[in-house]
Amino acid sequence: MTTPANRMKVCRLHGRYDVRVSEESIPRGVVGNELVRLTCVGICGSDLHWYEEGGIGDAQFERPLVLGHEPAGVIFDGPREGTRVAVDPAVSCDRCSFCAEGNPNLCSDLRFAGHGLEDGAFREMMVWPSSSLIPVPDVLSDLEIAMLEPLGVAIHAVSLGKVRPDVTVAVFGCGPIGLLILQVVLNAGAGRVVATDRLPHRLEAARRLGAAETVLAGQDGEVEAVLAATNGEGVAVGFEAATENAAVETAIACARPGGRVVLVGIPDDDRTSFSASIARRKGLTIKLARRMKHTYPRAIKYVVDKKIDVASLVSHRFSIDQAAEAFAVASGRNGLKVVIDPT
């Protein structure tokens, strides 16, 4: 369908598994904000929590919501008209103590696109703060720009893991975030990376991107196989990116004494548990990743310099009119990354 000049297509979640595309008025800009024409938006695992469960943890569905927080776009008017940008979905207050400490991802008054009552990017146009619109080099495609946000999440997680050169690392869960973490740790100098997942096609992608060893998760002998790949010592750093508690327990079991485990996935039931005695006796450091901070410059450089491959992670592309099909495909986990092209 063709929309009038003052109208745009919008994809809203109306309830669990209920995605609808309709027409709405194009939003008007306010001081400090700019109107952006959105060109490519990725479907994230957290979008799927809203789609499949109607919320994430204590944030629950209250009204029809525009999801989407991995956007690429072009500034539509004003002094920067025509500038291609990555849209940072997180808008911090810049006033609280967490912002002052350099941790805007922990802001006590954070706005986040496509979460709670804040509409996101699965629409043709959005108004967003100018400070959160990051100009990008023209060499990047719209698809690559949309992948900068998940790459930023991976960069932040690896920073928490404090990966040192030549250590052995394991990535538990090889969805898009896990596959990006794998590439970031290799760029950080990890000596050997082991990857696990329940889906063979994801393990194939992990091997293609540099995993030295892959292990099919959810099978007897999974822990033993990971330990065998480390000569029985265990991994120095483990990254859980599977959203399943079984992966958390496996990461704890596979960590070496004194190692680190970074939890990146969002559990379906809002609970994480593991054997305290194993973690305690190993003296593990356990970190939980909260989105990202200050990562766009590094993410842009990684992709421009072709050190990280984001484009090949995209297995499906849909128009905004096909949004319901896009979410169904993403929910089925048949491919890797699913994106929607709003315009």
Tell me the DSSP string of 114-170.
TBTTB--SSBSEEEEEGGGEEE--TTS-HHHHHTHHHHHHHHHHHHHHTPPTT-EEE
> What tokens appear for 251 in the block?
């990461």
DSSP secondary structure string for all residues of 31-92: TTEEEEEEEEEEPPHHHHHHHHHSEETTEE--S-B-----EEEEE-SSTTTT-EEEE--EE-
Q: Are strands 314-319 and 337-341 parallel, antiparallel or unpaired?
A: parallel
For residue 303, is it within any domain?
no
For residue 297, is it within any domain?
no
CATH value at residue 200: 3.40.50.720
Q: Are strands 125-129 and 33-42 parallel, antiparallel or unpaired?
A: antiparallel
For residue 273, is it within any domain?
yes
For residue 156, is it within any domain?
yes
For residue 294, is it within any domain?
no
Q: Do 135 and 189 sit in the same domain of this protein?
A: no
Which residue is listed with tokens 């025509």? 82
For residue 79, is it within any domain?
yes
Q: Do 39 and 140 sit in the same domain of this protein?
A: yes
CATH value at residue 325: 3.90.180.10
Q: Residues near 29 by Cβ (< 8 Å), separated by ≥ 6?
A: 35, 77, 78, 127
Q: Do 117 and 160 sit in the same domain of this protein?
A: no
Q: Do 168 and 234 sit in the same domain of this protein?
A: yes
pTM of the entire predicted model: 0.96
3-state secondary structure of 197: strand
Q: Do 13 and 84 sit in the same domain of this protein?
A: yes
| Structural domain of 20 | 7-147+310-341
Q: Do 24 and 138 sit in the same domain of this protein?
A: yes
How many separate domains does the chain show?
2
* pLDDT by 10s per residue, the chain, length 343: 456 578 999 999 999 999 999 999 999 878 999 999 999 999 999 999 999 999 998 899 999 999 999 999 999 999 999 999 999 999 999 999 999 999 999 999 999 999 999 999 999 999 999 999 999 999 999 999 999 999 999 999 999 999 999 999 999 999 999 999 999 999 999 999 999 999 999 999 999 999 999 999 998 999 999 999 999 999 999 999 998 999 999 999 999 999 999 999 999 888 999 999 999 999 999 999 999 999 999 999 999 999 999 999 999 999 999 999 999 999 999 899 999 999 9
Q: Do 129 and 32 sit in the same domain of this protein?
A: yes
Give the integer Cα–Cα distance in Å for 145 and 327: 20
Q: Do 250 and 137 sit in the same domain of this protein?
A: no
